[in-house]
Amino acid sequence: MATYQVTGRNGEGSAVVAVSISSIDQEGQLVSEMTVVNAVRDCLVAVPGVGSVVARKYEQVITTV
């Protein structure tokens, strides 16, 4: 799984709240990663003082030689 950083920013562009999602534990594939990320985005955008929300995805690539 990738790591996601969801950041809520105020009207001036300063970060006011950030949520990091690094794992989702579930039996089988019940909920997709993007469903969880979008739910967090929807939650943060509803917070008073948050003007915009940005989600960034980080993936680590390991190469064995």
Which phi and psi angles does 10 have, rounded to 5°?
A: -80, -175
Q: For residues 25 and 58, give the distance between their C-alpha atoms in angstroms, rounded to a whole number.
A: 18
How far is residue 46 CA from its own chain's centroid?
15
Nearest to 24 by CA among 2, 5, 57: 2
Q: What is the pLDDT of residue 61?
A: 83
Residue owning tokens 């990320």: 37
Q: For residues 8 and 10, give the distance between their C-alpha atoms in angstroms, rounded to a whole number.
A: 7
User: What is the pTM assigned to this prediction?
Assistant: 0.81
For residue range 26-65, list pLDDT tens digits in order. Answer: 888 889 999 999 999 999 999 999 999 999 999 888 889 8
